[in-house]
Amino acid sequence: MKYIYYILVIVIAFSGLAAYGRLDTRIKISKPFITVNDRVISEAEFESALKKKPSHMSLDQFAESVIDKQLLIQEAIRTGIIKEEYFRSLVEDFYEQSLIKILLDRKLDSLNVTVTAEEIGKYKELAQSRVFLTRFVYPAMKDMQDKTNETVQDVENDFVNLSDDLKFALLALEKDESSTPKKKSMDGVLIYKLNDIRKIEKNGIEQDEEFDTKKISLFIQNKKKEQLLDEWTDSIRESAEIWRKK
């Protein structure tokens, strides 16, 4: 675990390392807070770093952790790690993953969706029911459009035992309606047709269960955001010029 932590510390500090390694000179700052060999950390820089201080650490402990980090960074530079292809590949992967994560997080935060009382009521009704479906699978969208290479399977299950994606899809369906075609990387293109909904009874008495309305609302809200995010990424792909060798 310590090794992984040290690697992450080095990766995060990469941009600073490169400049530091090239200059190899003492930086003069009017109000230093910590100096570690030739590395000077100003009061402003330390105060900025304090925003990430773990709550269990005292100020003194955090300052010591900053010193330890700088010592490790300097040792990494001294041994030439930043010149190695493995390190460059690691930095590139970390950079790309972080960039994508920030983009998607910000897009999700910007999406505004509403959950209606009708949707919550529909979920509660389905949660006490057994659903009867037909599952259509096609290798690709063209097969779906041409109705070729079709695989058909009848599915019968309690709503609560279905996947989250299928639960959400069923919220928008009435009996004899079909879901919007959805492309899955491993399964191909999936379509579900809702054939019937039957209330579950226990010993001849209908189940009377309590439901967490807040939890149901959050579930629907998150799935709506996922749907909008999928549509957004699809729009990016459609507007792009893409070529790949067949």
pLDDT reading at 5 higher than 50: no
CA separation for the pair 15, 107 (Å, rounded): 26
pLDDT tens profile 125-134: 999 999 999 9
pLDDT reading at 12 higher than 60: no
Mean pLDDT in residue range 19-45: 72
pLDDT tens profile 176-193: 999 988 877 677 899 999
Rounded to two decimals, what is the model's pTM? Answer: 0.69
Burial class (CB in 10 A: 0-12, 13-18, 19+), 2: exposed
- All structural domains of the chain: 2-109 (no CATH), 117-198+212-238 (3.10.50)
